Amino acid sequence: MARTDLGAQSGGRNRQSIRLAGVRGRVSPPRRQRELVRPHDGSREVQLVEGVESDAPQSPPCRFGHRENLTLPAALLACALVRVKTAVYRGFTNMPRRLAFVLVLAFAALAMFAGVARALDFDDEDPEPPHGEVGMVYEYEIGTHAGCLPHRLEIGSGQLPPGLSIRKVPRTDGARDAEMFLVEGIPTQSGTWSAWIHLRDCDNRSAETLFTFDIWGRSYSITTQSLQPAALGSPYSAKLEVKGPPSNTTWEVPSGSLPAGLTLSHDGVISGTPTAVGSSTFTVEATGVAVDFTGTRIDSRELTLEVRGGLAAQLSRSTAEVGVPFRGSLVASGGQSPYTWAATGLPAGLALGADGTFSGSPRRAGGFTFTAHVTDARGAVKETPVRLTVHPRLSITTGSLRAAAVGQRYRATLTARGGVEGKRWSVRGSLPRGVRLDAATGTIVGVPRAAGRARFTVVVRDALGAVSTKTLVVVVR
């Protein structure tokens, strides 16, 4: 094969040249002369003939010339190394020639491999982010590759949906130059969110991609808005409810605490017997795993449960009067309304309705004790003894009034028995001129001005509304 001379002598100085058999082109590093010689015997061995004279100011002068046997592929690589700048070569001129040449080969190989290395980037096979839903657990993997490890992700502009964040997770596919990141959380707001995510490696090389996340509204929620009060010492039970896609739901109390004596089961039932009076505020959380395996949804709600004192009953009015309709009623405290009432041992003439109100009029005066039975909405029962005093019928006892004299002060007091306190008096008709009736005391007082005979009716009324009347006469002389 013919030799091609790529160098020439000029101006009394040696210009480096290379003679390559069957290689076209020119490479001219300064102050070097190399010649590759291939024998005519057909072998793959070639000879590298070199001669260098260097007077570079940054390295001592050196002169050498020798031959090295190289295989053809190595020779071709050596030809490529001629393109390495003189500054690189100068650092090896004081080394043994074979060692220097091997180092240059190593540097060239590293440069070649660096040139073909893959660029830092996101995995092309990553799918688009799936749509999310408020309250539903969200996960989306972002793979990265190439560059140098470790990789890191940063939000450049825009933002992730509220409730989501990014963290690095182990990669399971065995790739050595790749890492995996996970966008995860529970979205708290619906809408479309876009974010430029920047990828950086250990040398701060970077790549970026725009990710868009669509978050739909909530479809799974707790529908229980409030809880009925509980009664101290009485069994309590309340079922929490949710609505949404068919799911296997479990419940828990992540914060706060239930009243002492009560617990929340995994199926959402608050039950037990309260042991202390008071009000408790706590948060219940429902986690629903969709039966069609489309995802896990979570909702929470703050609730307050009041524990009232034990169920008790009392009478709104403790006095009654013979012949007067009784307007009293039984009143419950504690427990859970509505209440149902019953009674035993009531005074004659009275009856008790299921709503706790009395009807009828007592027929006999005296003190009576009867038993009130109250049942609340949860089935708690309380029996309470109740005392009722029945007063005699109200009646005026004044039989007649003494005569009066003109010009002389007159005073007469009306009397009544029975009834209850708070009596008020009045008169129908006309008293003698100059005389009046004191409504609070029932006293007739004054100075008559003219002789005559006055006929009138006095009326007394008590606090229960009982009324008694009597017609009287006063003679004025």
| pLDDT for the residue 378 | 75
Residue 129 forms part of a structural domain: yes
**Across 130-134, 251-255, 318-322, 331-335, least confident range:** 331-335
Given a contact cutoff of 8 angstroms between Cβ atoms, the answer to whether 285 and 251 are in contact is: yes
Instruction: Judge residue 475's burial from the number of C-beta atoms within 10 Å of its C-beta, 0-12 exposed, 13-18 middle, 19 or more buried.
Output: middle
pLDDT at 3: 40
Where residue 334 sits, what CATH number does that domain have? 2.60.40.10
Q: At residue 177, does pLDDT exceed 50?
A: yes
Residue 302 lies in a domain: yes
**pLDDT at residue 215, as a whole number:** 97
Which pLDDT does position 399 carry in this prediction? 92
pLDDT, tens digit, for every residue of 308-321? 887 888 999 999 99
**Total domains present in the chain:** 5
For the ranges 121-135, 253-267, 438-452, the lowest mean pLDDT is seen at 121-135
Residue 140 confidence (pLDDT) above 90: yes
Domain check: are 83 and 128 in the same one? no
Look at residue 126 and tell me if it is in a domain.
yes
**236-245 pLDDT, tens per residue?**
899 999 999 9
Kindly give, in sequence order, each residue whose CB lies less than 8 Å from that of residue 143, ignoring residues fewer than 6 positions away.
Answer: 122, 123, 125, 126, 171, 178, 179, 180, 181
- Whether residues 336 and 381 fall in one domain: yes
**Last residue of one domain, picked from the residues 116, 143, 160:** 116
pLDDT over threshold 80, residue 107: no
What is the C-alpha separation between 152 and 129, in angstroms, rounded? 19
Q: Do 299 and 344 belong to one domain?
A: no
pLDDT at 102 over 60: no
Same domain for 102 and 44? yes
| Angle, alpha carbons 90-96-98 (nearest 5°) | 95
Q: Which of 391, 414, 429 is the last residue of a domain?
A: 391
Question: Average pLDDT of 426-451?
Answer: 94
**Residues 6+ positions from 350 with CB-CB distance below 8 Å:** 320, 326, 358, 359, 360, 361, 362
Q: What percent of the chain has pLDDT over 90?
A: 64
Same domain, yes or no, for 317 and 304? Answer: no
User: Quick one: tokens of 263?
Assistant: 């617990």
How do residues 286-300 score in pLDDT, each as one tens digit? 999 999 988 999 999
pLDDT exceeds cutoff 90 at 361: yes
What pLDDT is stored for residue 235 in this prediction? 87
Question: Pairing between strand 206-216 and 132-133?
Answer: parallel
Q: 390, 322 in Cβ contact below 8 A?
A: yes
CB atoms within 10 A of CB 307: 24
Q: Are residues 102 and 161 in the same domain?
A: no
Least confident range from 47-56, 68-77, 138-147: namely 68-77
In a domain, 241, yes or no: yes
**pLDDT given for residue 273 in this prediction:** 93
Whether residue 221 lies inside any domain: the answer is no
Give the bridge partners for 247, in sequence order: 290
Is there a domain that residue 159 lies in? yes
Q: What percent of the chain has pLDDT over 70?
A: 75
Residue span of the structural domain in which 264 resides: 226-308
Residues 377 and 399 in one domain: no
Mean model confidence pLDDT for the chain: 81
4-37 tens-digit pLDDT = 333 333 333 333 333 433 334 443 444 444 444 4
Question: What's the pLDDT band for 157 if we cut at 50, 70, 90?
Answer: very high
Same domain, 11 and 106: yes
Residue 108 pLDDT: 52
Per the DSSP assignment, residues forming a β-bridge with 111 are none
pLDDT of residue 106: 56
Residues 16 and 99 in one domain: yes
What's this model's pTM, rounded to 2 decimal places? 0.50
Q: Are 128 and 209 members of one domain? A: yes
- Residue 270 domain flag: yes
Q: Which of 216, 243, 275 is the last residue of a domain?
A: 216
Contacts for 236 with CB less than 8 Å, ≥ 6 apart: 230, 262, 270, 271, 272, 273, 274, 378
- Per-residue pLDDT of 387-438, as tens digits, reads 999 999 999 999 999 999 999 999 999 999 999 999 999 999 999 999 999 9
Residues 33 and 98 in one domain: yes
45, part of any domain: yes
Long-range contacts of 204-213, Cβ-Cβ distance < 8 Å, separation of 24 or more: 205/120, 205/147, 205/148, 206/120, 207/119, 207/120, 207/121, 207/122, 208/156, 209/122, 210/158, 211/129, 211/142, 212/128, 212/129, 213/129, 213/131, 213/132, 213/140, 213/160, 213/161, 213/164, 213/183
Does pLDDT of 213 surpass 80?
Answer: yes
Same domain, yes or no, for 14 and 109?
yes
